[in-house]
C-alpha cells in the first residue's frame, strides 16, 4: 500500500461495462451500498452457526443475488484465483524431470491435457484479507477490490517484473511446475461448519473458513499442499459487549479462543478425512496469527503521519469503524487474544498430529513464520 492508501476505482474491462452510462453505474453502486448499509446486521451467529430469522435470511439472499446480477461483468474483468506454470509442458518433457513419465503418458495419448495438468503439484491457500491484495480505501474501491482482487499478493503473483511481488507461487516454480489456487476472502472468519456468511461477505463473494474448505473438498483434484492463515477477524473481541462487560473481558477472551480452536479443528478434520483417502502425500500448514503488537505499532506510526498530513493514509479511521477492537482502549486485549488463539492452534495441531500417526501420507504442521513478520514497517 502506498502512503496515501488509495487505489483508483478500476473500470471493468468488459464491453458492457465500458459502454454503460456513468449515471447508471453510479445508480447501481448507490443501490448496492444502500442495501449493504441498511442490511449490514442481517446475520445469524457466524461463529456458532445459528441462522438469522427467516424474513431476514430471505432479504439477505435477495440482496446478494441482486448485487451478483448487477455486477455480473466483474467475472470477466477479474483474473481467476488460479495459476498454472505457463511452460510446464516444456519443463516436464525433459527426461530428468520427475514428471517425465506423466509427459510420456500424455504424448502416447493415454491422458489428455487436463489430466496431465491434474498430475502437476497443486497448492492451495485459505485465509482472510492478509492473504489478499486488500486494504481500506474509498467505499466503491474497497467493494470492487474485495470482489475482484485475486493474485497480486504474497501467495499468488504471476507478474515477472522486478518491481512485482516475488510470490510463493513463483518461488515454487523454481523447483517444479505447479498449480496454485486461492480460496481466501476478505473479512473471513474461523466459523462453525454449517454457518452462513453475513450479507457483507455475500456481497463481496467472501467465504468463512468452512466455506473455503468446502470449495477445496468439492474439487476433483485435492491439493498436495494446503496453507491456512486465518483468524484475524476473530480478534474483534468487543463486538456485541456492553460497557460493563468490556471492563472485565477475561472470560470473553478465553471463550473466543476456545471457540476458534473448536471451529478450526472441525474444518481441519474435514480436510484430513479427505486427505486420508487420497493416493498422494498431503501436507496442511496452519500459520499462527500475525504479530498484533507490531501491527499496532505500525498503526500508531501511520496515525502520527495522518495527523500531521491528512492526505497521508486518508482512510486510516475506516478500520476502527468496522473493527472496534482496533480502538486504543481495546488493543491490549486484542493482542492478548491473538496470543491465546496461537497457543490454541499450536496445541490443536499437536493433537491432530498424534491422531495421524497411522496415516503417514498426511501431515499437519503449525508454523509461526508469518507471526514473525514485522508489520510495524510503513511502506
Q: What is the pLDDT of residues 264-312, one digit of tens each?
A: 999 999 999 999 999 999 999 999 999 999 999 999 999 999 999 999 9
Residue scoring higher pLDDT (121 or 54):
121
Using a pLDDT cut of 70, give the percent of the chain over it: 74
* DSSP three-state, residue 258: helix
Q: What is the mean pLDDT of the chain?
A: 83
Give the cell for residue 85.
Answer: 506454470
Query: What are the backbone angles phi and psi of residue 184, rounded to the nearest 5°?
Result: -75, 175
> Is the whole model's pTM more than 0.75, yes or no?
yes
Domain layout of the chain by residue ranges: 15-85+120-372
CB atoms within 10 A of CB 336: 17
Tell me what pLDDT residue 162 has: 87
Question: Topology of domain 15-85+120-372, per CATH?
Answer: Rossmann fold (3.40.50)
DSSP string spanning 82-135? EEE-TTHHHHHTSTTSTTHHHHHHHHTTSS-HHHHHHTS-EEEEEESGGGTT--
Each residue's pLDDT tens digit, 91-146: 999 999 999 999 999 999 999 999 999 999 999 999 998 887 766 666 666 666 66
Residue scoring higher pLDDT (194 or 203):
194
Amino acid at each position: 500500500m502506498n502512503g496515501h492508501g488509495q487505489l483508483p476505482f478500476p473500470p471493468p474491462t468488459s464491453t458492457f461495462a465500458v459502454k454503460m452510462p456513468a449515471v447508471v453505474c453510479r445508480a447501481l453502486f448507490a443501490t448496492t451500498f444502500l442495501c449493504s448499509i441498511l442490511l449490514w446486521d442481517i446475520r445469524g451467529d457466524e461463529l456458532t452457526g445459528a441462522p438469522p430469522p427467516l424474513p431476514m435470511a430471505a432479504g439477505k439472499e435477495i440482496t446478494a443475488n441482486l448485487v451478483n446480477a448487477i455486477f455480473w461483468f466483474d467475472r470477466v474483468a477479474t483474473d481467476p484465483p488460479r495459476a498454472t506454470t505457463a511452460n510446464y509442458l516444456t519443463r516436464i518433457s525433459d527426461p530428468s524431470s520427475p514428471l517425465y513419465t506423466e509427459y510420456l503418458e500424455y504424448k502416447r495419448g493415454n491422458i489428455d491435457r487436463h489430466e496431465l495438468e491434474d498430475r502437476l503439484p497443486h497448492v492451495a491457500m485459505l485465509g482472510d484479507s492478509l492473504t489478499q491484495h486488500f486494504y481500506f480505501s474509498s467505499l466503491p474501491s474497497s467493494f470492487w477490490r474485495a470482489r475482484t482482487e485475486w493474485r497480486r499478493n504474497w501467495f499468488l503473483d504471476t507478474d515477472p517484473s522486478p518491481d512485482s511481488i516475488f510470490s510463493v507461487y513463483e518461488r515454487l516454480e523454481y523447483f517444479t511446475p505447479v498449480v496454485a489456487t486461492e480460496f481466501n476472502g476478505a473479512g473471513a472468519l474461523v466459523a462453525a461448519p454449517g454457518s452462513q456468511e453475513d450479507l457483507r461477505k455475500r456481497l463481496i463473494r467472501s467465504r468463512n473458513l468452512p466455506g473455503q474448505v468446502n470449495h477445496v473438498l468439492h474439487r476433483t483434484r485435492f491439493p498436495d499442499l494446503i496453507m491456512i492463515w486465518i483468524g484475524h477477524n476473530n480478534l474483534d473481541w468487543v463486538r456485541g459487549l456492553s460497557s460493563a462487560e468490556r471492563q472485565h473481558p477475561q472470560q470473553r477472551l478465553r471463550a473466543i479462543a476456545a471457540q476458534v480452536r473448536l471451529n478450526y479443528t472441525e474444518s481441519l478434520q474435514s480436510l484430513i478425512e479427505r486427505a486420508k483417502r487420497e493416493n498422494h502425500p498431503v501436507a496442511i500448514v496452519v500459520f499462527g496469527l500475525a504479530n498484533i503488537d507490531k501491527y499496532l505499532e505500525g498503526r500508531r506510526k501511520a496515525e502520527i503521519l495522518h495527523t500531521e498530513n491528512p492526505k497521508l493514509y486518508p482512510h486510516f479511521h475506516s478500520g476502527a469503524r468496522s473493527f472496534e477492537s482496533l480502538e486504543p482502549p481495546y488493543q491490549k486485549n486484542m493482542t492478548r487474544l491473538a496470543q491465546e488463539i496461537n497457543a490454541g492452534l499450536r496445541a490443536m495441531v499437536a493433537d491432530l498430529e498424534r491422531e495421524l500417526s497411522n496415516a503417514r501420507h498426511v501431515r499437519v504442521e503449525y508454523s509461526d513464520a508469518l507471526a514473525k513478520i514485522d508489520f510495524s514497517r510503513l511502506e
